[in-house]
Amino acid sequence: MNKKILLVEPTYRTKYPPLGLMKLSTYHKGKGDEVAFVKGCDKKAGNIFWDRVYISSLFTWTWKETIKTIAFYNDLLFHFSGKIYVGGILASLMPDEIFNATGIHPIVGLLDNPQKIDQDDKIIIDRLPPDYDIVKQVENESFTYNNTDAYLGYASRGCIRKCSYCAVKTLEPKFIPYINVTRMVNSIKKIGGDKQNLLLMDNNILASSKFDAIIDDIKTAGFRKGATYGTTRRKRKVDFNQGLDARLLTESKMKRLSEIPLDPMRVAFDDIKYESTYVQAVRLAHKYGQKNMSNYVLYNYKDTPEDFYKRLKINIDLNIEFASDKNGEKTIIYSFPMRFIPLNATDRNIDTGNLHWNKQYLRAIKIILNVTKGPVMPGAEFFYQAFGSSEKEFKSILLMPDDFIRNRVVPNWRQISCSDKRLMPYVRKWKETYFSMSKSEEKALIRAVGPRDVDFIKKEYKSSKAKKVKALLKAHLDPMSFMINNNIKIIDNKDKECVKKSTMPFSANIC
Amino acid sequence: MRKKKYNAIFGKYLLDSISIGMYNNPLMLFREYIQNSTDSIDELAKRFKARKSQSKRAIEISINGQNHSITIKDYGVGVSIYQARHMLHNVGVSSKKQGIDRGFRGIGRLGGLGYCDTLRFVTKASGENKYSISTWDCKKLKHIIANNKSSIEARNAIEQITQLELHSYKKNIQDNFFIVEMLNVKSSRNILLNVPAIKDYISQVAPVPFQVKNFSWSKTINSRLRLKVPKYSIYDIYVNGEQIYKPYKDTIIINKSLVDKIQNVDFIEFKHDEELLAIGWVANLALLGAISKASGTDGLRLRSGNIMVDNKEILSTFFREKRFNKYLLGEVHIINKLILNSRRDDFEDSVYKENFFNSFAKEIGIPFSRKIREVSMQRSLARTTAAAKDIVKVAKRITRNGYLSQFQKEKITNNLVQIKNNSTHKTQAIDKLINKLNKSRYIFQDRDIEIPDNTYSFLETMLDVIHKECKNQEEAERISNIIITKTKSMFARNETTKGAA
């Protein structure tokens, strides 16, 4: 008898379509079942009796939304046991917590065993091609997935490393060095049509002993360098979106990688201690004509703000170096800062225990990065404007009130060559005061603004005797007065509005 | 290792738990005794198949308000004098069979222990010239249980409070019966002596017949259920001489002004893997609202062996909103496989239970929840449409005759704007009407009659007050119109007089 299957993705923000649900869709459609896909808690789903409901999960910090969704569907199915299956990353990382919160014990890890969802057959669902059709059921004017024009898949599974900040060791504990990409691409093509790009989510492809065979497969599947897609003649791209391990990038492997249209190439720069390995890997990529690189830069793990800045700057310096190479490819590196969030954090705002960082710094970085929605611009001028020209200046920016960070430069800053004159007067004043501070005064300032707690700043402001500290704390408590006092003469409130408008946001300037 | 012999102790509180502690409504003891009687009647019918006509399917209940006593009598197989002690004084032992008889745990007859001073079972089996009387001293039992110093065993407690007597029977030796007597009945708010409440309870819970003259679907339902449900049977139960029927009727009262009629009866089967777990009949109604509680028929009710399981709410959980069950009318009869728990308020956990409730949600709970919501949406849509039509009517009247008060005009304009915002078509026409309305005149403005200025402003104020204060705008309009007609005729007459002069 045909069953009615409901696939649910909780309403968290996500770029990638839910691959696990898409594979489950292929599985159930293959059995002749009716499959529907919804986003979040859909009341209309209550009009139908579902034989099974599958709920996916993503990052642990989507905890609240995920638990809410599970509870909603549990209610919808009148708490019938064995009808709701919860899986995915959060489910695999925190199964006991989910069980305690919902009474449903989730499926841990991959759908690589028919017993996990009580199948009456022996099909390995993880190896099935994803069903791209279901994605259209939830896409609308305000919500679309990215990367639906790509073959989504894997050429290997798991990772040989066991980095403490990474969940792969739990999610995919077994390293499987080879999965046939050509076959995967062909089976997707058969049911879902041809796709422009190839998105491979391998965790450590360079560790695979079958690396050469994998590159051959990718080429056979139609992804040679210069290959185009269909009648549009658009260039095809291959993306190992989980990044490549710099420590394993040999010249021969880079040579093989240069045979496919890798765009972008991603190499992680997680720790300053790997500087030489990292720089060597990037230079190797440059040597083999890699055009775009998007490199993950982990922060707030065990690093300091200073070494985070250093790593960003290394990429800028490399960009300058490659730009001046007249013969070779002008490789461009985009830094992609990634904040470390513990593997069991149910909320994004969590203290990781790294004493070098604090709430103020993290928020400040977020504000700076908001301009580009993530990556750091590769140009030196933009970089120094956004992050400061030295580690010390970087720190001075991190300590500013939010509005100062957002509105640092004058509207016509590009026409001014002197970098200091580009800044709004109040920012200059801030910097001046900050740079003239003694070590102990700086410490007092960091201690006061670090936790981003207004009451605490007020208290510190009252008890502090240092004039400079007091002045900067006042800026945090009342940024508008500080701006006005150090800006232009103000006559009445109307002018205050003018000040606000004239200080165009940093984002507007840079875009 | 040698196992040490050990005799487990069954303490006195056990008796408390399996009698008074079992049920949360004293009326449930009627259900327990009726269930015993039906099993006994069925057993007799089975034994004397050839002489079926002899078996009397009656259960007679008498409630005596003067003596505070209850008796429940059936003419079933009764208990032979040889088995009396075994069957009546042992606990948790039953000769009945699970899946065939309705009861089988051997504790149901103790239901009365908590609600009277003396509980007696008087019984005789056919062919014997003696009958047995088993007496339970409930007062003494309560005393024993309440006595903290005594840690007597359940077995000894029963020995102390019970007594079995045999008496010779002078009437027809073929007679057989079982009588439960509860003497000096005591219950909270006297519920066990409340005859109407007892009748009401039995009519909804016990395996009584439909009343054919009120419920024309009786025959259809009975014949279908007899075919499909092995334990579907009906008994004649009398309370103080009046036969009790199920309360179903062809006409369904929803509220004072809303009545529905059963159009048809659907039979729905609840299956798991082609195995029939239950069958139900559901009246075909317009789903206009919750059926009146007083009718005793609201909601689909679950029955096993034609006796209601739990209360009428047991199936409500499987609707999108619990109240939706009250919109429906019918019964669901368990066929077999599902075993009732000892409280008769649910089933023992099993895959069949899970599948039955699943199937119920699938066949009834979810589709009917959807239908009820649809009907409700349609009705509210119809209501808004009707209201909108009325408003348009008034607006047109105002544009023709002039408005009765500024308040009325503003209100109607606002209503029209609302209608326009909520509708997708005819918005242009509504806009036109609003325009016209804005230009409309006050009803006295044309001055075809001459009203003195002070009267004019007085009238204006009064009509405004009427429209503001009247909750019913139709009524406000009606009163205003009377005033206007009267005023017009008054001043018009003056004018004609003037003209004539």
pTM attached to this predicted model: 0.79
**Interchain contact B376–A (C-beta under 8 A):** no
Q: Which two three-digit tokens encode residue B466?
A: 């009427």
Q: Check whether B252 has a pLDDT greater than 50.
A: yes
Share of chain A above pLDDT 90, in %: 58
A484 pLDDT tier (thresholds 50, 70, 90)? confident
Do residues A481 and A490 touch, judged by C-beta distance below 8 A?
Answer: no
A4 min Cα distance to partner chain B (Å): 11
CB atoms near residue B77 (< 10 Å): 23
Mean pLDDT in residue range A493-502: 47
Mean pLDDT in residue range B429-451: 79
CB spacing of B361 vs A49 below 8 angstroms: yes
Which of the 8 DSSP states describes residue B213? T
Let me know the angle formed at the C-alpha of A327 by A324 and A332, rounded to the nearest 5 degrees.
50
Q: Which two three-digit tokens encode residue B237?
A: 């139960």
**Interchain contact B30–A (C-beta under 8 A):** no
CB atoms near residue A379 (< 10 Å): 16
User: In terms of CA atoms, which chain A residue is nearest residue B350?
Assistant: A81
Q: Which two three-digit tokens encode residue A254?
A: 């880079």
Is the bond leading into A264 cis (omega within 30 degrees of zero)?
A: yes
**CA B344 and chain centroid, separation:** 17
| A187-213 confidence digits (pLDDT tens) | 999 888 899 999 999 999 999 999 999
Instruction: For an interface test with A, give the residue of B362, B363, B371, B377 to mutate (most A CBs within 10 A).
Output: B362
Interatomic CA distance for residues B372 and B288, integer angstroms: 8
**Interchain contact B52–A (C-beta under 8 A):** no
* Mean pLDDT across chain A: 88
Do residues A295 and A241 touch, judged by C-beta distance below 8 A?
Answer: no
Interatomic CA distance for residues A449 and A292, integer angstroms: 38
Handedness of CA B366, B368, B374, B380 (dihedral sign): negative
Do residues A383 and A479 touch, judged by C-beta distance below 8 A?
Answer: no
CB atoms near residue B241 (< 10 Å): 8
Which stretch of A56-70, A257-271, A419-433, B245-259 has the lowest confidence by average pLDDT? Answer: A419-433
Mean pLDDT in residue range A389-403: 91
Interatomic CA distance for residues B115 and A194, integer angstroms: 79
- Please state at what angle helix B366-401 crosses helix B427-439, rounded to 10 degrees: 30
Residues 6 or more apart whose Cβ sits within 8 Å of residue B45: B52, B55
Q: Residue A332: name the closest of A367, A296, A288, A378 by CA.
A: A378
CB spacing of B365 vs A78 below 8 angstroms: yes
Instruction: For an interface test with A, give the residue of B275, B314, B320 to mutate (most A CBs within 10 A).
Output: B320
pLDDT confidence of residue A203: 95
A257 pLDDT tier (thresholds 50, 70, 90)? very high
Q: Check whether A323 has a pLDDT greater than 60.
A: yes
A505 pLDDT tier (thresholds 50, 70, 90)? very low
* Mean pLDDT across chain B: 88
Across the interface, which of A47, A80, A81 has its CB nearest the CB of B366?
A47
Q: Check whether A1 has a pLDDT greater than 70.
A: no
**Interchain contact B209–A (C-beta under 8 A):** no
B53 pLDDT tier (thresholds 50, 70, 90)? low
pLDDT confidence of residue B501: 37
Which stretch of A141-145, A371-375, A438-442, B335-339 has the lowest confidence by average pLDDT? Answer: A371-375
| B189-223 confidence digits (pLDDT tens) | 889 999 989 999 999 999 999 999 999 999 999 99
Measured between beta carbons, the chain A residues lying within 8 angstroms of B371 are none
Q: Check whether A434 has a pLDDT greater than 50.
A: yes
pLDDT confidence of residue A350: 80
A488 pLDDT tier (thresholds 50, 70, 90)? low
| Torsion of Cα atoms, A98 then A101 then A104 then A108, to 10° | 10
Share of chain B above pLDDT 90, in %: 50
Interatomic CA distance for residues A463 and A489, integer angstroms: 31
CB spacing of A80 vs B365 below 8 angstroms: no
| DSSP per-residue codes, A287-338 | HTT--EEEEEEEESSS--HHHHHHHHHHHHHHHHHHHT-SSS---EEEEEEE
pLDDT confidence of residue B500: 42
**Interchain contact B357–A (C-beta under 8 A):** yes
User: In terms of CA atoms, which chain A residue is nearest residue B359?
Assistant: A49
B52 pLDDT tier (thresholds 50, 70, 90)? low
Q: Check whether B317 has a pLDDT greater than 50.
A: yes
User: In terms of CA atoms, which chain A residue is nearest residue B372?
Assistant: A47
| A61-118 confidence digits (pLDDT tens) | 999 999 999 999 998 988 886 789 999 999 999 999 999 998 889 999 999 989 989 8
> Tokens 């279908």 map to which residue?
B224
Q: Check whether A491 has a pLDDT greater than 70.
A: no
A44 min Cα distance to partner chain B (Å): 9
B159 pLDDT tier (thresholds 50, 70, 90)? very high
| B72-118 confidence digits (pLDDT tens) | 999 999 999 999 998 898 888 777 777 677 776 778 888 899 899 99
A50 min Cα distance to partner chain B (Å): 8
B55 pLDDT tier (thresholds 50, 70, 90)? low
Q: Give the amino acid at B107.
A: I
Mean pLDDT in residue range A29-47: 93
Measured between beta carbons, the chain A residues lying within 8 angstroms of B354 are 80-81
pLDDT confidence of residue B499: 43
A155 pLDDT tier (thresholds 50, 70, 90)? very high
pLDDT confidence of residue A417: 78
Across the interface, which of A46, A80, A81 has its CB nearest the CB of B320?
A46
CB spacing of B354 vs A78 below 8 angstroms: no
pLDDT confidence of residue A492: 45
Residues 6 or more apart whose Cβ sits within 8 Å of residue A71: A102
Q: Which residues pair with A8 in a beta bridge?
A: A38, A55
At A87 the three-state DSSP class reads coil
Measured between beta carbons, the chain B residues lying within 8 angstroms of A78 are 317-318, 357, 361, 365
**Interchain contact B374–A (C-beta under 8 A):** no
Do residues A257 and A265 touch, judged by C-beta distance below 8 A?
Answer: yes
Residues 6 or more apart whose Cβ sits within 8 Å of residue B253: B259, B291, B292, B294, B295
B152 pLDDT tier (thresholds 50, 70, 90)? confident
Measured between beta carbons, the chain B residues lying within 8 angstroms of A49 are 361-362, 366-367
Measured between beta carbons, the chain A residues lying within 8 angstroms of B366 are 46-49
How does strand A150-153 pair with strand A197-200? parallel
A509 pLDDT tier (thresholds 50, 70, 90)? very low
pLDDT confidence of residue A351: 80
Q: Which two three-digit tokens encode residue A493?
A: 């409130």
Interface of B with A in 406-465 (CB under 8 A): none
Instruction: For an interface test with A, give the residue of B358, B376, B377 to mutate (most A CBs within 10 A).
Output: B358
pLDDT confidence of residue B492: 67
B54 pLDDT tier (thresholds 50, 70, 90)? low
CB spacing of A49 vs B369 below 8 angstroms: no
Q: Check whether B428 has a pLDDT greater than 90.
A: no
Q: Check whether A502 has a pLDDT greater than 60.
A: no
B51 pLDDT tier (thresholds 50, 70, 90)? low
Interatomic CA distance for residues A443 and A320, integer angstroms: 35
| B483-500 confidence digits (pLDDT tens) | 888 887 777 655 454 444
Do residues B309 and B346 touch, judged by C-beta distance below 8 A?
Answer: yes
Q: Check whether B358 has a pLDDT greater than 80.
A: yes
User: Which H helix or E strand runs over B3?
Assistant: none
Q: Residue A18: name the closest of A167, A118, A138, A121 by CA.
A: A138
Across the interface, which of B317, B354, B366 has its CB nearest the CB of A49?
B366
Mean pLDDT in residue range B369-388: 91
ipTM over 0.85: no
Q: How many CA atoms lie within 13 A of B143 on its CB side?
A: 7
A159 min Cα distance to partner chain B (Å): 42
Residues of A with CB under 8 A from a CB of B: 46-49, 78, 80-81
Across the interface, which of B318, B367, B370 has its CB nearest the CB of A78?
B318
